[in-house]
Structure 1
Amino acid sequence: MTPPRLQLAHITKRYPAVVANSDVSLTVQAGETHAVLGENGAGKSTLMKIIYGSVKPDEGSVVFNGQPVHIRNPQEARALGISMVFQHFSLFDTLTVAENVWLGLSRSLTLAEVTRRITTKAGEYGVEVDPLRPVHTLSVGEMQRVEIIRALLTDPKLLILDEPTSVLTPQAVDRLFGVLKKIASEGCSILYISHKLHEIRELCSACTVLRGGKVTGVCDPRQETNASLSRLMIGAEPPALQHREVKTGATVLAVNALSLPTENQFGVDLEDISLNVRAGEVVGIAGVSGNGQQELLYALSGEDTRAAAPMIQIKGQSAGKFGPGRRRALGVHFVPEERLGRGAVPTLGLAHNLLLTRRDAIGTAWWNRGWINVRSLEAQASDIIRRFNVKAGGPNAEARSLSGGNLQKFIVGREIDANPKLLIISQPTWGVDVGASAQIRGEILALRDAGCAVLVVSEELDELFEISDRLYVIAKGRLSPSVDRARATVAQIGEWMSGLWNAPAGAEVQHAQA
């Protein structure tokens, strides 16, 4: 009888402020695609890092292919045939894609051979990767593609995937699933972490559910519904979003024929971008990562001020030359896709991270000008933690101590709590569990209903269709016409992601130009 590919028995991992895993047992059979479900902070990533040798358990045992093993580091894991794609990437910014991949492969391979293999594997799986690009020039989505290719190049016996489809078009997801099913049919086991319940039901034949670091259930997801999986994961179904008829006001953001050459050789030139966002509406921008989203967001946030002043208008003011501070003074708030490093300083506490975009706790009177009111700052942070149900060790917990989803909730909460007139938000629920996703999306809609203009850039089509009133698609630095969400289809938007659109006549063009 063939032994299970992986057996975890009574795994426990404690940290000073939390028990990440408590008496966790899990079995994965050869050729099985096994989902691990859990809300943010449930202990999924810690458990995967234990399997991959990045974290040492305090208690418990690991058996791989019937043999007890003590995996001390990722190199030993790879030698056993275990590969992992992390949610938070492990790439060196100053090296090229090929050099990063080379680090994890056999030393007998030359860099030229690794480069050729990357190109071949990327073509096989339909994933666009340039092996010669430096990693620091890649978007977050492009970095994830590199991680996926790096893992597949090792021909693993156990492949761990943490949120692998968040940067792919629906068509590319279908192709990846075909590849994963083929890999599994050849005997490779897959541990699959995703918050997309429909993916888990389609792809996985077994599922272990974690809540608060403990196993709370094991099921066959093919026999479950999205609602029943949600109940297993968070103890309840997420509340349905409340939609109302859109009542738009004045134009808050108008982008007029914005064209900007990229500042790095691997970026994307923006070509004749025009869009508008009115008060009281959510406008979504769909697109595969690396098609100009980063360049557009830098121009809108004020990090890139090369645009001619009239090209970007905020509340009627020509703001193309305004930096982030002046744009915030006009009521613009921004949530970047990079949580750590851009959205938050990793080593600062949550309260002091508020100072990146908020000035409420800084004195302005003659007797306290420039002084920070720490109590006020901590109270603000505590209120955001409570309102957005952020799992953290208090207002002074370091940003890097939070799980990805909880940090995202805090950063989104920080900007929404500022009562913006225009909120520009990139990847609002990337890596966030189903309950937290519903909460963030609900807060975005509540902000819209209060009269805020909201621009959402996301690679999650389901998300955009759920919260947007109008949609654009960005591809190769160009922007499609806008289309009302009610008239758009997933297939249509998926085609547009490849740049295959023709400006339609009639209402949509008029709407886009209004």
Structure 2
Amino acid sequence: MEGLTKAYPGVVANDDVSFEIAPGQVHALLGENGAGKSTLVKMIYGLVKPNSGTMTLRGQPFEPPEPRAARADGVAMVFQHFSLFDALSVAENIALGMENPPPMAELAQRISDVSTEYGLPLSPDMTVGDLSAGERQRVEIIRCLLQNPKLLIMDEPTSVLTPQEVQILFATLRQLSAEGTAILYISHKLEEIRSLCDQATVLRLGKVVGRCDPRQKSAAELAEMMVGSELRPPSRTPAEPGAPKLQVTNLSLPAPSAFGTALRDISFTVHAGEVLGIGGVAGNGQDELLSALSGEAATSGATVRLNGQPISTLGPNARRALAVLAAPEERLGHAAAPNMSLIENALLTGATRQNLTRNGFIDWAATRRFAEQIITRFDVRTPGPGNAARALSGGNLQKFVIGREVLQTPEVLVVNQPTWGVDASAAAAIRQSLLDLAHNGAALVVISQDLDELMEISDRFAALNEGRLSAPRPAQGLSIEEIGLMMGGAHGMEVAHHGTA
């Protein structure tokens, strides 16, 4: 890449970006949210056309007008958000991503052969809706590998994987690298970058600000290169938990869809000033639990109580009025309406608690001020509050969604994947804002697949497995082995008595 520049109204996404990747090299692309990483890889993959600059691939001029052309030239990409159909089989999904798929029996055999060769076991007949997040990612990777790519682009590939699945993925990538495939790797998990990548290019505000061998740098040094300043870890002031705030007793819910997870007899209590961390592999009931706590999914009787009062039958707006707020995992479509502006998205959950309506009319001036407050306090990189949610990078939209709920001073906040896809600096700021809420007396339920995150901010830890919750245990002193066993469902007899500490 030589001098690649791409500008949009109000923002230069990439400004004179140049670097090269050698065959067999695992090259990290680092940068804060909004630094221009996604735009750059979209140009390589033919999704976006640069305003200026040139690319060459194996010595030949490279200007893909569309992804099909990039794939034909040997460029493959595994996106952060999977593009798979739940109701179709693995083989059918892979066939949809191929220009000229072979007969299904032949394709199934090739899938089996490639998955075995690269240590990614996968049955071509399995229905995708029945697969774990890690297995879904294998479908995407094998779809790419069947093209024999010369350059493989991976965008946040480990954000939904267990530690064991990460090791399997890394073994596959090292094998591909040894065979001469160049890999461009985007991740905010800096320890992963250090263990996997042999070269790194750092972007800041669309420009290349540094190059290094990440194996020679600490994670803190890499983070500082990205943000241009020293990174401070979140700090917390230990305090005795207060009175019980949120009580959940014997919560069971049927699966919301054929591919959802039923919740089974879940019980826990969260006290004022406490953070309960809930871990688990994706697809074990995280979304369903958030829906039950936010009021999106109706529950019966007195299964959910706030300050001792039953709130099970209340919907989301009634719970918001009582200061029970939530931030779901799927930011584009669930937490935010893609085509609405940030002002309108601020209104969607803030109307009640921020008094953004009067006598049935929307107070647009107050709503704009609230949106601007979120943007300023949470450093959301956007030309302005009038921008559509879909125009933001994933990490910046995440900052907006979390900020919108935090600034409403909840008594109870339930968040799923609070720092998914955000850079080290923004993740530290989000975690600090959650700890500050708890310090001021809120009760927090933080659902996350990032175990480091949960250990950093949680007072107690529990694990979701197939819709069941292990008994919460003090987070301090828990080993990775114990956490892994809890996530795998080895809860022992503790599940029976649902400790609420």
| Shared fold, TM over 0.5 | yes
Which of 178, 184, 197 is the aligned partner of 2:171? 178
Instruction: Give CA-to-partner distance per residue, 1:388-425, whole Å, 9 cap, x none.
Output: 11111111111111111111101100000000000000
Which residue identity is paired with 1:513?
Answer: T
Instruction: Give CA-to-partner distance per residue, 1:362-394, whole Å, 9 cap, x none.
Output: 334xxxx01111111111111111111111111
Q: Quick check: 2:462–2:486 contact (8 Å CA) kept in 1?
A: no
1:81 is aligned to 74
1:110 is aligned to 103
Is 1:417 matched with 2:410? Answer: no
Which residue identity is paired with 1:261?
Answer: P
Which of 487, 490, 497 is the aligned partner of 2:480? 490
Which residue identity is paired with 1:363?
Answer: T
Q: Relative to 1, partners in 2 of residues 1:88 and 1:158: Cα closer, same or farther, differing over 3 Å? A: same
Which residue identity is paired with 1:39?
Answer: E
Which residue identity is paired with 1:512?
Answer: G
Within a 5 Å distance, the mapping from 1:365-514 to structure 2 comes to: 369-503=359-493, 512-514=499-501
Which of 25, 45, 60 is the aligned partner of 2:18? 25
2:348 is aligned to 356
1:301 is aligned to 294
Aligned-pair CA distance for 1:125: 4.3
Q: Quick check: 1:362–1:370 contact (8 Å CA) kept in 2?
A: no
Is 1:241 matched with 2:231? Answer: no
Q: Relative to 1, partners in 2 of residues 1:286 and 1:152: Cα closer, same or farther, differing over 3 Å? A: farther
Which residue identity is paired with 1:69?
Answer: F
Q: Quick check: 2:267–2:498 contact (8 Å CA) kept in 1?
A: no
C-alpha distance in structure 1 between counterparts of 2:164 and 2:107, whole Å: 27
Which residue identity is paired with 1:17?
Answer: G
Within a 5 Å distance, the mapping from 1:92-131 to structure 2 comes to: 98-111=91-104, 113-114=106-107, 125=119
Q: Relative to 1, partners in 2 of residues 1:466 and 1:511: Cα closer, same or farther, differing over 3 Å? A: farther
Within a 5 Å distance, the mapping from 1:267-286 to structure 2 comes to: 267-286=260-279
1:221 is aligned to 214
Aligned-pair CA distance for 1:29: 0.6
Q: Relative to 1, partners in 2 of residues 1:408 and 1:107: Cα closer, same or farther, differing over 3 Å? A: same
Is 1:256 matched with 2:270? Answer: no
Aligned-pair CA distance for 1:492: 1.8
Aligned-pair CA distance for 1:182: 1.3
Q: Which stretch shows the higher mean deviation, 103-112 or 79-88?
A: 103-112
Identity of aligned residues (%): 49
Instruction: Give CA-to-partner distance per residue, 1:11-63, whole Å, 9 cap, x none.
Output: 11111121111111111011000000000100000000111111111111111
Which residue identity is paired with 1:342?
Answer: H
5+ residue gaps, structure 2: none
Q: Relative to 1, partners in 2 of residues 1:155 and 1:257: Cα closer, same or farther, differing over 3 Å? A: farther
C-alpha distance in structure 1 between counterparts of 2:29 and 2:487, whole Å: 30
The SS at the match of 2:39 is helix
Q: Quick check: 1:246–1:469 contact (8 Å CA) kept in 2?
A: no
Q: Quick check: 1:211–1:233 contact (8 Å CA) kept in 2?
A: yes
Which residue identity is paired with 1:177?
Answer: F
Aligned-pair CA distance for 1:108: 3.5
1:3 is aligned to none
2:316 is aligned to 324
Is 1:158 matched with 2:158? Answer: no
1:5 is aligned to none
The SS at the match of 1:309 is coil
Q: Quick check: 1:126–1:172 contact (8 Å CA) kept in 2?
A: no
2:337 is aligned to 345
C-alpha distance in structure 2 between counterparts of 1:483 and 1:504, whole Å: 10
Which of 47, 61, 68 is the aligned partner of 2:54? 61
Which residue identity is paired with 1:392?
Answer: T
C-alpha distance in structure 1 between counterparts of 2:83 and 2:184, whole Å: 19
Q: Quick check: 2:89–2:124 contact (8 Å CA) kept in 1?
A: no
Q: Quick check: 1:256–1:311 contact (8 Å CA) kept in 2?
A: yes
C-alpha distance in structure 2 between counterparts of 1:342 and 1:121, whole Å: 36
The SS at the match of 1:179 is helix
Aligned-pair CA distance for 1:269: 2.1
C-alpha distance in structure 2 between counterparts of 1:43 and 1:270, whole Å: 40
Q: Relative to 1, partners in 2 of residues 1:209 and 1:416: Cα closer, same or farther, differing over 3 Å? A: same
Which of 186, 189, 192 is the aligned partner of 1:199? 192
Q: Quick check: 1:81–1:158 contact (8 Å CA) kept in 2?
A: yes
Aligned residue pairs: how many?
A: 498
C-alpha distance in structure 1 between counterparts of 2:205 and 2:476, whole Å: 39
Q: Quick check: 1:271–1:477 contact (8 Å CA) kept in 2?
A: yes
Instruction: Give CA-to-partner distance per residue, 1:464-492, whole Å, 9 cap, x none.
Output: 11111111111111111212111211222
Q: Relative to 1, partners in 2 of residues 1:469 and 1:435: Cα closer, same or farther, differing over 3 Å? A: same
The SS at the match of 1:395 is coil
The SS at the match of 2:225 is helix
C-alpha distance in structure 1 between counterparts of 2:91 and 2:253, whole Å: 29
Q: Quick check: 1:458–1:464 contact (8 Å CA) kept in 2?
A: yes
Q: Quick check: 1:140–1:337 contact (8 Å CA) kept in 2?
A: no
5+ residue gaps, structure 1: 1-7
Q: Quick check: 2:263–2:288 contact (8 Å CA) kept in 1?
A: yes
Please report the RMSD computed on the Cα atoms of aligned residues, expressed in angstroms: 2.4
Aligned-pair CA distance for 1:95: 5.8
Q: Quick check: 2:154–2:186 contact (8 Å CA) kept in 1?
A: yes
Which of 302, 308, 313 is the aligned partner of 2:305? 313
The SS at the match of 2:361 is coil
Which residue identity is paired with 2:271?
Answer: R
C-alpha distance in structure 2 between counterparts of 1:239 and 1:449, whole Å: 18
Is 1:46 matched with 2:36? Answer: no
Q: Which stretch shows the higher mean deviation, 428-437 or 287-296?
A: 287-296
Aligned-pair CA distance for 1:149: 4.1
C-alpha distance in structure 2 between counterparts of 1:121 and 1:512, whole Å: 46
Q: Which stretch shows the higher mean deviation, 119-128 or 255-264?
A: 119-128
Q: Quick check: 1:171–1:494 contact (8 Å CA) kept in 2?
A: no
Q: Quick check: 1:31–1:184 contact (8 Å CA) kept in 2?
A: yes
- Give me the TM-score of the superposition, normalised by structure 2: 0.93
Q: Relative to 1, partners in 2 of residues 1:180 and 1:241: Cα closer, same or farther, differing over 3 Å? A: same
